[in-house]
Structure 1
């Protein structure tokens, strides 16, 4: 399953949690894998790689030179005229799904489509798909190389292929089975099987339920404080629980308490998915300024991204909000929590 490819700010969260919480200021030397302040990029000016001379540099906007994708603002691509070119230009391309308006072929997300009469259109004689973006805008998914309508709520589904409409729910299947039923998010009750990838969105959070990462069942959450003062891994934080739970994670050298999705967070998630569904934005809409999500669900998209500022150890999320023209002043000011560390979206983001 690939939910909102570009929404995945979560990768920044994972980096933040796994790092030692040292934020490298813009302009100072850095090593590959270290986190730069304000979502900067660790690289060597004038090259496409990081080495011993790398420094943290700020990302740049449309029209500015780039060497790799990470040189550009979130949502932009480093476009190179020729594949072997070293240098490119930050560009707003690959934003339109099949059936959406475009100006040129590069605007179309699917490599199997072209811009015909200012609409991204599937190329002639193409009868197979490689991924969802090769199918009809926001209406179909790619399963076994064939475009098909997603399974409706309450109908039989395949968990492995994620055949449900992912803006509505998920495929709830018994442990070890690929056959299940499409159910609404937050609908599983205590003792029901849940699975890795959609933890926080499967169990009924109104009843204090969460998906236990070890036994893969919805259970009532209760935090047991780890009996260690420092940690190097999440396994250390949960070792005292004899492998029965995964209620804390190691971040910045200490065990951080897991937190449930709140009612407010649940509403924000629901609002975003509902808006995307109504406007047929699809699950793979790009987050460029011309993309469906940004043009038709701007408020909901900004509200969702503000949730991630609770992880903002190095100012990255605040920088993203600013670049996306969201109101940074309304950002949450919370301590790090895990309620969105295990989002539906872990597929990938920026």
Structure 2
């Protein structure tokens, strides 16, 4: 079979002397063309066959079919931009990346931030690596246009579909993760803030674990503010750090470390607030999650809710110990179910903390 263009050319005069185009030679009812040389009317002035032309062309290649192709991109989370992503087409052989491929990496807004080159894995004909150099720790998406990869299926060349796959650079979990349980609210604070305190005592503000939760871990990247209560004016910023209290070395303790320590007499008598953001501290699982979210699920972590702790500072009226890092004062009174006063909730059961019932599982 031949492929080409068939056309009618020229015109012919009828017996009336009018000129008609060669297309009039078509008999549409019979789906035939009049080509006999002895036809009388209408007739072609020279040869009827010269009224037709056929130009043969080369048959075009059949369109390459797009096939929904299984793939996987690993790992979903990488530690840094020095790591590589691997795109695999398991079960296929001789997968080829097209020379005009225009794949790229997009940020969370969908903006193109990096062009992609697929590098074949040595010894593999169905795996390719992707470099992540120059990308910051964040979430991204690998965008691969349709037809970037070709392979053979049922003895015919086919191409892959468009692919979009998400990945993250940085294994550390975020304190903003919505799956975190913001319920770490049973703890002990020092100094005792039920009355007036001296300004320098705030240099030793501590939070202690009393056994209701498993451990106490700080998120040092979370900023903690000391502000004037009435107008929220920031007086100091700082963060929590793990601390060993010399008077209570076995209890997990966090110390608030200001960027600049408070000098005695610096704070006027007034109401102040320590503002602690959600996710500033939490249990042992929370610490693991911050370090590597691939090892611990956010839903298994307990972290603090957003907190505003009001403190009345008045150096003249304060009666507490100035150097509270050495203080053993406690502002939580804990009883077990038998009515015995205890220091910590070390075992599972029912406890009464400051008159409220708590159940430790």
TM-score (norm 1): 0.19
Higher strand share: 2
- Bigger Rg, structure 1 or 2: 2
Higher helix share: 1
The one of the two structures with greater contact order (alpha-carbon pairs below 8 A, sep at least 6) is 1
TM-score (norm 2): 0.18
